[in-house]
Amino acid sequence: MALPKVELHVHLEGSVRPSTFLKLARKNGLDVRCRTERDVVALFRFRDFAHFAQLYDYCTSLFRDPEDFELAVTELGSYAAQQGVRYLEVTFTAGTHFRSRGIPFDEQIDALATGAAKARRDTGIEIRFIVDHVRGLSIEDCYQTAQWCADGRDQGVVALGLGGIEAGRPASQYDKAIRWAAERGVPFVPHAGEAAGPESIWDALQYSPPRLGHGFRAIEDVELMEHLKANDVLLEICPTSNVRTGTVPSLEEHPVRRLWDFGIPLNLNSDDPSMFNTDVLNEYRIAISTFGFTPAELARMGFMGIRAALVDEPERARLTDLFTGELRRLGITVDPRSGEPSSGVPGPSPEPPSARRG
């Protein structure tokens, strides 16, 4: 599908392609009990969310030196660009690599920035980074991650994330660290409303996130849906991921269409593409075949993604102009502000949610 795309929810560690998985395992002398790419795919047949989290930790063990980070992000950027992604925000778990294998954060981010620059040079794709904290770790660890976010802003770090097993571990457990980061201009973009219900989303919203990872369980609370709609909080929707981890029974039961029809801003993402045997292009195809989205609606999602992207206004305007031009060549003229058919003239870039909330 030739539509230009924005992807805001993809994990570096879960994007390593099977061939690279084997390459890194052999390079670093790891016994992964996989001889072929097919073996790697079979390895990630998840039983439940806890099993997924366990295997995700397994993937992080592949990264042993800075060159591994550079390779992974360069490959991810190149592959995403082939699918029409023009802007990509990549989440990585710096603390795991630091604590488990002693790789300093500055070496991690230097390598990632080098890989992003290579991808930009070769494909034109723009890549930014979210450093996430893992639920269940200490508040001190979260402060460390927040500090890394603040330190890494000149190399493309745009936010503090929050991942890991969600149930019983609300964002507010890390209240002071999240607020410390916000005082230094670092936005908070947590996973919420995936394996836990609306209460997890309400808890995260006290920190005024510009968007939420997953968030589809907002469908269980009409008042919450009204809040998300009124405050223009975008949900990073990952249908295949939600089915693979068992948080949604089947694609047909995923609430993405109902959330969209309610008026909540959304965009489509691959989450952990290699682990889930998907990619963003596949998610767009599913949106059409399973949920009945039209190309114009998907184009509107692209503009929503631009509005929620953590970029400065010149970059937002550039992306808006780029998308408008590409869509016009495809015969799709969608106003980037309203999503309605238009002449294709973008006008002023829409103000991002994070700017409206100060």
Per-residue model confidence (pLDDT) at position 272: 92
Number of domain units in the chain: 1
Angle at 49 between CA 181 and CA 241, to 5 degrees: 80
Per-residue model confidence (pLDDT) at position 345: 39
Per-residue model confidence (pLDDT) at position 60: 83
Regions of the chain with pLDDT less than 70: 1, 46-49, 51-54, 339, 341-358
Per-residue model confidence (pLDDT) at position 49: 66
- Select which of 89, 194, 236, 283 is catalytic: 194
Per-residue model confidence (pLDDT) at position 76: 96
Q: Mark residue 208 as left, alpha or beta (left: phi above 0; alpha: psi -120 to 50; beta: remaining).
A: left
Distance, CA of 325 to CA of 327 (rounded, Å): 5
Which residue segment(s) compose the domain that 163 sits in? 5-356
Distance of CA 144 to the CA centre of its chain: 21
Per-residue model confidence (pLDDT) at position 337: 74
Q: Reply yes or no on whether 13 is catalytic.
A: no
Distance, CA of 275 to CA of 278 (rounded, Å): 8
Do residues 14 and 21 touch, judged by C-beta distance below 8 A? Answer: no
**All residues at 6 or more sequence positions from 130 whose CB lies less than 8 Å from its CB, including other chains:** 89, 90, 91, 92, 157, 158, 159, 160, 161, 189
The tokens describing 53, both together, are 């989290």
Distance, CA of 358 to CA of 353 (rounded, Å): 9
Per-residue model confidence (pLDDT) at position 347: 40
**All residues at 6 or more sequence positions from 228 whose CB lies less than 8 Å from its CB, including other chains:** 215, 218, 235, 264, 265
Per-residue model confidence (pLDDT) at position 307: 97
What is the CATH number for 304?
A: 3.20.20.140
